[in-house]
Amino acid sequence: MSFPSRPKVVVSSCLEFDSCRYDGQRVSSPAVLHLMEHVEFIPVCPELEMGLGVPRDPIRIVSVRGGLCLIQPATSKDFTGEMKAFVDSFLDSLGEVDGFILKNRSPSCGIGDVKIFSRADAELPTGLGDGFFGGEVMKRFGHLVVEAEDRLNDIEVRERFLAKLFALHRSRLSDYNSRLR
Ligand code: SF4
């Protein structure tokens, strides 16, 4: 098997790839569009993969007895188990990648800016945190480049992201070549 010529980046599918948001929309992303020719994207939508459809009632993170749950307020269903099972199975089998570009503010994909509620029907959040997928990505792959898509609109953030992404890929390529010698 040959070494991939471009960096591998896991991306939230709703960013330019699929119309998979809860409301059936796709999100336009200049940063993702720009990278299409330069990286090998691995698109994933955790909410579809764990069994929800499009369109769907939104889900949110709710703090329950000191733990965090993924609740669909319209149906009162708890998708925490399904999401955790998908996240573990996807990340366990992912193999080597160089980075992640994740949709901001999503209870699944978000990192650090996701609203957390005290009740499923609460109007206002009590704080911010990670989405279920985004948080696990940070735990396991925080040493790589993991960035929220909206932050890539900032030129300095984007340049840092790209520099580290291509450096990581070069380093993997160099390790691969030295193993062949
Ligand atoms: S943010 Fe993540 S879970 Fe939500 S639609 Fe996009 S890819 Fe799917």
- Rounded to the nearest angstrom, the distance between the alpha carbon of 27 and the centre of ligand 1 is 10
- pLDDT at position 134 is 98
Average pLDDT over residues 53-73: 97
pLDDT, residue 96, reads 95
Q: Are strands 77-78 and 60-64 parallel, antiparallel or unpaired?
A: unpaired
Q: What is the mean pLDDT of residues 141-157?
A: 97
Domain residue ranges of the chain, discontinuous segments joined by +: 8-55+80-110+130-180
Q: What is the pLDDT of residues 105-118, one digit of tens each?
A: 999 999 999 999 99
pLDDT value, residue 170:
96
The chain-wide mean pLDDT, for the chain, equals 96
The per-residue DSSP string of the chain comes to -PPPSS-EEEEETTBTT---STTS--B--HHHHHHTTTSEEEEE-HHHHTT--SS----EEEEETTEEEEEETTTTEE-HHHHHHHHHHHHHT-----EEEE-TT-TTT-SS-EEEESSTT-SS-SEEE--HHHHHHHHHHTTSEEEEGGGGGSHHHHHHHHHHHHHHHHHHHHHHHHHH-
The residue whose CB lies within 8 Å of the most ligand 1 atoms, and thus the one to mutate among 16, 109, 114, is 109
Give the pLDDT score at 148. Answer: 98
Model pLDDT, residue 1: 63
pLDDT tens digits, 75-105: 999 999 999 999 999 999 999 999 999 999 9
Q: How close is the Cα of 179 to the center of ligand 1, in Å? A: 37
Average pLDDT over residues 138-145: 98
Residue 45 has pLDDT above 90, yes or no: yes
Buried b (16+ CB within 10 A) or exposed e, 33-47: eebeeebebebbbbb
pLDDT, position 128: 98
Residue nearest to ligand 1 atom 5, measured at CA: 21
Determine the average pLDDT of the residues in 119-142.
98
Measured from CB, residues less than 6 Å from any atom of ligand 1 are 12-14, 20-21, 45-47, 103, 106, 108-109
Select from 14, 22, 82, 113 the residue to mutate for testing ligand 1; criterion: most ligand atoms less than 8 Å from CB: 14
The predicted structure's pLDDT at residue 176: 87
Per DSSP bridges, beta strands 99-102 and 8-12 are parallel
What per-residue confidence (pLDDT) applies to 107? 98
Nearest protein CA to atom 8 of ligand 1, as residue: 45
